[in-house]
Amino acid sequence: MSGDHYRFDPMSAKTLADPGAAYSELRERCPFHHYKGEHYEFYITSDYEEIKRDILADNPVWSFKYGNAAKDTISEVGFKTDPPFHMAFRAAMQPGLLPKAVMRYEREAQTIAGELIDRMLEKGSGDFHDEFALPLPAQMMCVMLGTKRSDYLHYKHWADELQLQLFHDPTPGSFEIILGQILPHFRGLIAERRKLLEASAAEPSPQLLGTVLPDDYISRSLVAKVEGRPLTEEEILNVCLAFLTGGQETTTGLIGNLMWRLLQAPERWERLKADPSLIESAVEESLRYDPPVLAHFRTSLCPVTMHGKQLPERTKLMFNITGANRDPQRFTDPESFRIDRPLAEARAHLSFGNGVHFCMGAPVARMEAKVAMRLLIERLPKLRLDGQPERFESWMHWGKTKLPVRWD
């Protein structure tokens, strides 16, 4: 069913107010939909199996190199490439996200979360987003990049500006303006590490991490090799931008969304406190039910037929993660938020993608959310809502920019 007469607007007040319900209705009423709005035109597919099997798998038709948004952001550098180069680049960056590295990051996350809760305990109420959900992943991003944790709000501003350029109609030239602020900053950090390398006279290699070079992702990018060669400056900057835009916003959304759902129905919070073994399932259920990124995009490299429609080259295809995550063909009682959903079922969500572009940062995001829940249960057991939340303004994201709570 193409649903040519069904009207759906991802930017409407109805969709923004309750994207879960809106995208589920889209899946049921029109699983393949043609959207044509004032600023964008694209097709939307909502079927779980089609998205997982035909779009997110290594499909040569659907490309990532034109970006993950409704308009082209052509780069063809680093992570923003297609296989086979994309796989080689991922392999060069992957060691920093293996279990041993994530264990080290977990200690950092525990320290940061503990400090944030210490400050919260000095008060009796506040905005959970500003007090905890934002600073934990944002400061962790700084740790992983090897920058000062105190800079996290500065980085947050840059990330917000970049997201605004990607998912809203920008002022001409504004993208270049914000990059003109960001890129010199990261070039300076790269230059500092190059000087350390030159002073050591050592051949660049991962063995220098933690000795000659700080063990962070900027340094890792300097000593890594892809297809037998060092990364170019542009590729290293791509890594920095990937952390900036992907290293904190989605995890902030995850932690805020989960806490909102738990406190929205206090019996959920009480049950999680009584049985912390449910934390992992609760995190995965939040990712399934409230994906921080509602949908993603790919671009066709050649003409393709979908659901009987002929789509030309460079067609934008939005895959409806939110609706797919509630597909009754894949999930039992999909419209219910259940912190005790079987872990294997909950983890079948598509919120981190699938296949060659599966989110590399997923282990860290999951770890941060689990650390957050464990410490909040232990140290702020009286958490409760204290007012109406406010959502992210972006039509592509789902999360809270304000979540008033009390813990006294």
**Is 196 part of any domain?**
no
Which has the higher per-residue pLDDT, 167 or 144? 144
**Is 185 part of any domain?**
no
**Is 240 part of any domain?**
no
pLDDT digits over 252-298, tens only? 999 999 999 999 999 999 999 999 999 999 999 999 999 999 999 99
- pLDDT of residue 5 exceeding 80, the answer is no
Helices (H), 168-246: 174-200, 217-223, 233-246
**Is 218 part of any domain?**
no
- pLDDT of residue 134 exceeding 80, the answer is yes
pLDDT at res. 393: 81
**Is 166 part of any domain?**
no
233-246 and 174-200 helices cross at what angle (nearest 10)?
120
Domain boundaries, position 273 = 13-145+249-406
pLDDT digits over 215-257, tens only? 999 999 999 999 999 999 999 999 999 899 888 889 999 999 9
3-class DSSP state for residue 258? helix
**Is 338 part of any domain?**
yes
- pLDDT of residue 74 exceeding 70, the answer is no
- pLDDT of residue 3 exceeding 60, the answer is no
Query: Based on the structure, what is the number of domains in the chain?
Result: 1
pLDDT digits over 78-107, tens only? 787 888 888 899 999 998 898 888 999 999
CB 340, CB 315: distance < 8 Å: no
Q: How far is CA 328 from CA 122, 294, 301, 358, 378, in A?
A: 45, 18, 31, 23, 35
C-alpha triplet 318, 323, 325: angle, nearest 5°? 110
**Is 376 part of any domain?**
yes
pTM higher than the cut 0.85 = yes
**Is 160 part of any domain?**
no
Burial class of 242 by CB neighbour count within 10 A (0 to 12, 13 to 18, 19+)? middle
CATH number of the domain that 326 lies in? 1.10.630.10
